[in-house]
Amino acid sequence: MPIIKDQKLVENEYVEVASEGTVPAAGSIIVGLQNFMKHKDLFLNREGNIGVRLDSSDDVSELTSDLGKLALIVLTFPKFADGRAYTQARKLRRSGFKGELRATGEVLRDQLFYMTRVGFNAFELQEGRDPENALEAFKDFSVTYQSSADDNRAIYNR
Amino acid sequence: MYQYTSTDKKIVTERADQFQGQVTRRVSGSVKELEFKPLRLQNGLYMQLHAYMLRVNVPYGLLNSKQLRMNAHIARTYDKGYAHFTTRQNIQYNWPELDDVPKILKDLASVEMHAIQSSGNCIRNTTSDPFAGVARDEIEDPRPYGELIRQWSTFHPEFAYLPRKFKIAVTGTPDFDRAAVRVHDIGVRLVKNDKGELGCEIMAGGGLGRTPVVGKVLRDWLPREDMLTYLDAILRVYNTIGRRDNKYKARIKITINETGVDKFRAMVDEEFELMRDEGTKLTQAELDRVSKQFVAPTYKKLASSDSALTKFKLSKERDFGHWVTNNVIAHKVDGYSAAVISLKTKDTPPGDVSDTQLDKIADIADKYSFGEAVVTHAQNLVLPNVETEQLPALYAELKEWDLAEGNYNLVTDTICCPGLDFCALANARSIPVALEISERFADLDYQEDIGELNLKISGCINACGHHHVGHIGILGIDRRGKEAYQLMLGGSPSDDASLAQIIGPALAPDKIVDALETVLKTYLGLRTAPEERFLDCYRRVGATPFKEAVYADN
């Protein structure tokens, strides 16, 4: 299934690597946070993009010193009503992460607007969801009040 | 009163459109109920026992006459001809059809109102002192701060899916808290520091519900410019570490208790310092822009009306005398008074008003109070700016519409949740208890003799009727399949915040009002002087004499 990236449908170029699984010599891969911390040198020195997957209970500050070397960070919504990843995303953008920030798990149309504001730019919709329809969600609101990752100035500072 | 900017208008209009789309997708089946639930909740739409219930926000309780009329229209067109004022200064409709809700939201948007985040696990409507702007003891009008918080919290992208609901209250009267800031998730008190500079004291982790807790001070003084940044920091820590494994342990009061207030404060401070000088910092221009919209109306130059008030209190027309004595509050401007319209009348559930009464209240607000009325957390309305000389005329008009009950802050001025008559969570009915109390204590001379008394009734331990902080609290429970009521004494939501204590086994529905009367008779016998309120007397003598009197037959 295609993912939504920068408000367009694109194919997912990344391959998921399990914690003790074989690491392909080249190409883009996603690894879990613990795996990444354990074999950091290996992952950062191979050919191809590296993405790290975090659980919503993980502390994003563990990645602070590596943010510039990561092409992708994947955050998880175990349930759509579990909002921890919103704060994780906001903190990662605040710490200067410029790569792809992808939402996975129970990612649904009606949360995309908020997710975009806190810094997500890629979305792996839950199985069976219509991504074309979801693209409409980015237009739900034309104005905002708060500062967030999309604009660090609240409305009165713009 | 705050006037919407084009941005404010756009947001409420676009929300109505968005919800229209969500309802269409729900009806067509492409959105399932489980996903629709949080969407409708964040629009104030609950599923109750018999029907949907729509909760409409009234920010800091303030309504103008146009808004009152629109709510009369909504009650008439989409509900069964009445509206219900809640303990959080909001309005609830108990019988709307799902298809009509987008239309209601559009009607509300046309008068600058909305139902955004009035339920769900997000930041709810901000409440405040119902006498804001007119109270003699106020050091600063809290409403501009309530409005700033309303805008900051509206569609805050990071905090729409918190562990649990989140309620904020603001007061500008540090010495007399009428906004119950200590029993909110966050309480903001406007205070002055040693140098006389105005700032905010921030409290957090207060709350009622199953685990009542009095809030703790996180900052005793913070520059006003930093208020929203500091709130962001608190919410960010809570969103990260608040418990999501058990909804009864998910409120911030539990987070703070389990983390320890000092550690929690340190985490908030760390987050705050990272963001302090970034884009949320309020500017003087923004503080001024919002404050300017709450300027006082153009009062006439009048002499002090204190002696007129004394005369009215002693009026030969006893009902009017009672009403002035109990329902009229001193105003900061000479010649003016604030008048409370009691919504605790004998045959109507506390907080209910009919569509025709709402229309009438709108007319009365226009005629007597610069077109404004305020909802109180005790489910009454305040006309904040009435010329004292006009009180007799005002009273006569109110009386014509059954709105002149002179029982403000007396025993029959009960706070009451909807209970088992409406609510899916309730264990027992609460409205019939309130109605029986208003009948039993109908005599105003008797009520005045008993004096100031905050009686609060909840139909279950979720405590929507705030029974923990009633001078007397009544809690409905389910005892082996039958309704029963616990009697609790000694609570207060104010500066002397305390939690009421259960005095003995739960009582049957036909015994609870007798027990209340026994408690009050016991108090009348024990008090040292009429000035000693029930609460003061209870604190002096303790629970024992009341307990002995109530359970004497057992």
CA–CA min distance B485, chain A (Å): 35
| Residues on chain B touching A108 (C-beta within 8 angstroms) | 35
Tokens describing residue B403: 């709105």
Topology adopted by domain B415-550: Sulfite Reductase Hemoprotein; domain 1 (3.30.413)
Q: What is the pLDDT of residue A126?
A: 85
The CATH number linked to A50 is 3.20.20.70
Tokens describing residue B434: 């309130």
Q: Determine the Cα–Cα distance for residues B526 and B513; give it in Å rounded to an integer.
A: 20
φ, ψ for residue B62, nearest 5 deg? -85, 130
Mean pLDDT for chain A overall: 94
CA–CA min distance A59, chain B (Å): 9
Q: Determine the Cα–Cα distance for residues B270 and B273; give it in Å rounded to an integer.
A: 5
Judged by DSSP in three states, B331 sits in coil
Q: Which of A91, A111, A146 to mutate to test the interface with B (most CBs of B within 10 A)?
A: A146
Q: Which of A79, A82, A87 to mutate to test the interface with B (most CBs of B within 10 A)?
A: A87
Q: Determine the Cα–Cα distance for residues B12 and B113; give it in Å rounded to an integer.
A: 8
Q: Which domain holds residue A32?
A: 3-157
Q: Which of A115, A145, A152, A153 to mutate to test the interface with B (most CBs of B within 10 A)?
A: A145
Report the candidate in B487, B458, B483 with the shortest Cα–Cα distance to residue B472: B487
CB A118 to CB B283 under 8 A? no
| Residue A118 pLDDT greater than 90, yes or no | yes
Helix (H) or strand (E) holding B220: strand B216-223
CB B225 within 8 A of CB B281: yes
Q: What is the DSSP string of B111-162?
A: TT---TTSSSSSB---EE-TTTTT-TT-SS-SHHHHHHHHHHHTT-TTSSS-
Q: What is the pLDDT of residue B252?
A: 97
Judged by DSSP in three states, B337 sits in strand
Q: What is the DSSP string of B373-440?
A: EEE-TTS-EEEEEEEGGGHHHHHHHHHHTT-----TTSTT--EE--GGGT-SS-SS--HHHHHHHHHH
Instruction: List Cα–Cα distances, B552 to A6, A82, B5, B472, B548, in angstroms.
Output: 74, 52, 63, 19, 5
- Give the count of domains, chain A: 1
CA–CA min distance A144, chain B (Å): 8
Q: What is the pLDDT of residue B554?
A: 59
Reported as a pLDDT band with limits 50, 70 and 90, residue A20 is: confident
CA–CA min distance B91, chain A (Å): 25
Residue of A nearest to B234 (CA): A87
CB B239 to CB A83 under 8 A? yes
Q: Is B532 exposed, middle or buried (0-12, 13-18, 19+ CB in 10 A)?
A: middle
Q: Determine the Cα–Cα distance for residues B138 and B271; give it in Å rounded to an integer.
A: 32
Residue of B7, B240, B281 with shortest CB distance to A155? B7
Q: Which residues of A touch B (CB under 8 A)?
A: 80-84, 86-87, 90, 94, 108, 110-111, 113-115, 117-118, 130, 133, 140-148, 151-157
φ, ψ for residue B538, nearest 5 deg? -60, -40
Which residues are registered as beta bridge partners of A100?
A72
Topology adopted by domain B127-291: Sulfite Reductase Hemoprotein; domain 1 (3.30.413)
Instruction: List Cα–Cα distances, B535 to B465, B485, B542, B552, in angstroms.
Output: 18, 20, 10, 22
CA–CA min distance B219, chain A (Å): 23
| Residues on chain B touching A156 (C-beta within 8 angstroms) | 282-283, 285-286, 289
**Yes or no: domain B6-110 corresponds to CATH 2.170.150.70:** no
Report how many Cβ contacts below 8 Å link chain A to chain B: 101
Topology adopted by domain B306-400: Sulfite Reductase Hemoprotein; domain 2 (3.90.480)
CB A146 to CB B283 under 8 A? no
Judged by DSSP in three states, B320 sits in helix
Q: What is the DSSP string of B31-84?
A: S-HHHHHHHHHTTTEEE-SSSEEEEE--GGGEEEHHHHHHHHHHHHHHSSSEEE
| Residues on chain A touching B9 (C-beta within 8 angstroms) | none
CB A149 within 8 A of CB A90: yes
CB B161 to CB A80 under 8 A? yes
Per-residue pLDDT of chain B (554 residues), as tens digits, is 999 999 999 999 999 999 999 999 888 888 888 888 888 888 889 887 778 899 999 999 999 999 999 999 999 999 999 999 998 899 999 999 999 999 999 999 999 999 999 999 999 999 999 999 999 999 999 999 999 999 999 999 999 999 999 999 999 998 889 999 999 999 999 999 999 999 999 999 999 888 889 999 999 999 999 999 999 999 999 999 999 999 999 999 999 999 999 999 999 999 999 999 999 999 999 999 999 999 889 999 999 999 999 999 999 999 999 999 999 999 999 999 999 999 998 888 889 999 999 999 999 999 999 999 999 989 999 999 999 999 999 999 999 999 999 999 999 999 998 898 888 889 999 999 999 999 999 999 999 999 999 999 999 998 888 999 999 999 999 999 999 999 999 999 888 888 999 999 999 999 999 999 999 999 999 999 999 999 999 999 999 999 999 999 75
Which residues fall within 8 angstroms of residue B8, CB to CB, at 6 or more apart? Answer: B112, B151
CB A152 to CB B278 under 8 A? yes
Q: What is the pLDDT of residues A57-66, one digit of tens each?
A: 999 999 999 9
Instruction: List Cα–Cα distances, B522 to B410, B474, B508, B519, B545, in angstroms.
Output: 17, 17, 20, 5, 8
CB A113 within 8 A of CB A138: yes
The C-alpha angle with vertex B12 and arms to B171 and B425, in degrees rounded to 5, equals 65
Tokens describing residue B251: 């409120």
Instruction: List Cα–Cα distances, A135 to A108, A149, B157, B378, in angstroms.
Output: 11, 20, 18, 45
B127-291 and B306-400, same CATH topology: no
Which residues are registered as beta bridge partners of B489?
B472, B501
Task: Assess: ipTM above 0.85.
Answer: yes
Q: Which residues of B touch A (CB under 8 A)?
A: 7, 10-11, 14-15, 18, 22, 30-31, 35, 38-39, 121, 151-152, 154-162, 228, 236, 239-240, 244, 274, 278-283, 285-286, 289
Which residues fall within 8 angstroms of residue A20, CB to CB, at 6 or more apart? Answer: none
Q: Determine the Cα–Cα distance for residues B485 and B427; give it in Å rounded to an integer.
A: 10
φ, ψ for residue B309, nearest 5 deg? -65, -45
CB B158 to CB A118 under 8 A? yes
Q: What is the pLDDT of residue A146?
A: 96
Residue that is written with structure tokens 């000693």 in the block: B532
- Walk across the sheet containing A29-32 and list its strands: A8-10, A3-5, A122-123, A100-105, A72-77, A50-54, A29-32, A15-16
CA–CA min distance B155, chain A (Å): 8
**Model-level pTM?**
0.94
Tokens describing residue B427: 């264990």
Q: What burial letters (b/e) apply to B391-414, b meaning 16+ CB within 10 Å? A: beebbebbeebebbbbbbbbbbbb
Q: Domain boundaries in chain B?
A: 6-110, 127-291, 306-400, 415-550
Residue of A nearest to B14 (CA): A141
What is the distance of C-alpha B214 from the center of its chain? 17
